[in-house]
């Protein structure tokens, strides 16, 4: 396992005491379908592939070059991904990515309350082709952070977005957004919420951002 990136965000998250919609440990594996995920931009062409994922099925995103826009996939319908992250004990999220021969200037994990307003995103930085291998990108966070703390921990507040803690009390949109110039074809697999047992162990050890190679 090759570490791509690691930062320490000094935060320990307590266990959830309030039941809600979002379920830590939820994973969209895409083995038999798209699991409620759809293209999130006008440039996105999304298809399901039953094999070649990490492992088994995955979704592929391709770019419609006539639009000149970014591509992405989002879920705003699967209840286990949505709701009050603070009350439900969600302390992070992530996804697996295979860029094939595409170079990305950025990969982002983005959250919004609804389609009508902007939100916050975490920027994982550029992604280069690496021999058709899958990489995993995870960010752990405290959904109750104030804006100053979230910004200091690497999050970006989009124009006119709600406060960080307000958004994560009412998540209605989870998105993987991919940015590049020119054509693009990428694979996405295992979009997830944490903690899962391994991720929770990392959190308690104080490791709050991992990008890892499988």
pLDDT tens-digit map of 133-169: 999 999 999 999 999 999 999 999 999 999 999 999 9
Q: Which residue has the higher pLDDT, 169 or 21?
A: 169
Distance CA 8, CA 153 (A): 9
- Cβ–Cβ under 8 Å, residues 30 and 57: yes
User: Considering the chain, what is the average pLDDT of its residues?
Assistant: 85
Q: What is the pLDDT of residue 100?
A: 96
d(CA 129, CA 209): 22
Write out pLDDT tens, residues 45-57: 999 999 999 999 9
Q: pLDDT category, 202, cuts 50, 70, 90?
A: low
Rounded to a whole number of angstroms, the CA Rg of the chain reads: 16
Cis, peptide link before residue 100, omega less than 30° from 0: no
Q: Which residue has the higher pLDDT, 208 or 77?
A: 77
For 101-114, the pLDDT digits (tens) are: 999 999 999 999 99
Q: What's the token pair of residue 195?
A: 């903690």
pTM (2 decimals)? Answer: 0.83
- Bond from prior residue into 55 cis (ω within 30 degrees of 0): yes
Q: Residue 21: which pLDDT band, with cuts at 50, 70 and 90?
A: confident
Q: Token pair for residue 63?
A: 């770019």
pLDDT band at 9 (very low <50, low <70, confident <90, very high): very low
Q: Distance between CA 72 and CA 213 in Å, rounded?
A: 21
Where do the DSSP E strands lie in 43-145? 44-49, 58-63, 71-75, 92-98, 106-112, 120-123, 135-140
Which domains are delineated in the chain? 3-8+21-213 (2.60.120.430)
Q: How far is CA 114 from CA 84, 105, 108, 117, 136, in A?
A: 13, 26, 18, 6, 26
- Strand ranges, E, within the chain: 3-7, 27-28, 38-39, 44-49, 58-63, 71-75, 92-98, 106-112, 120-123, 135-140, 155-157, 173-179, 185-194, 209-213
């Amino acid at each position: 396992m090759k570490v791509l990136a690691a930062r320490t965000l000094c935060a320990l998250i307590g266990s959830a005491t309030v039941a809600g919609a979002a379920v830590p440990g939820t994973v969209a594996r895409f083995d038999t379908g798209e699991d409620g995920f759809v293209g999130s931009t006008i440039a996105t062409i999304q298809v399901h592939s039953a094999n070649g994922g990490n492992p088994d099925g995955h979704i592929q995103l391709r770019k419609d070059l006539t639009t000149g826009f970014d591509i992405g996939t989002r879920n705003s319908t699967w209840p286990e991904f949505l709701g009050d992250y603070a009350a439900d004990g969600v302390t992070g999220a992530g996804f697996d990515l295979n860029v094939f021969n595409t170079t990305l200037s950025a990969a982002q994990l983005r959250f919004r309350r609804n389609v009508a307003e902007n939100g916050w995103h975490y920027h994982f930085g550029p992604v280069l082709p690496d021999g058709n291998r899958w990489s995993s990108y995870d960010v752990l966070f405290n959904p109750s952070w104030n804006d100053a703390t979230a910004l200091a921990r690497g999050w970006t507040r989009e124009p006119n977005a709600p406060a960080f803690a307000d958004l994560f009390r009412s998540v209605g949109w989870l998105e993987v957004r991919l940015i590049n110039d020119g054509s693009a074809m990428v694979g996405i697999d295992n979009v997830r919420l944490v903690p899962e047992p391994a991720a929770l162990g990392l959190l308690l050890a104080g490791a709050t951002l991992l990008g890892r190679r499988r």
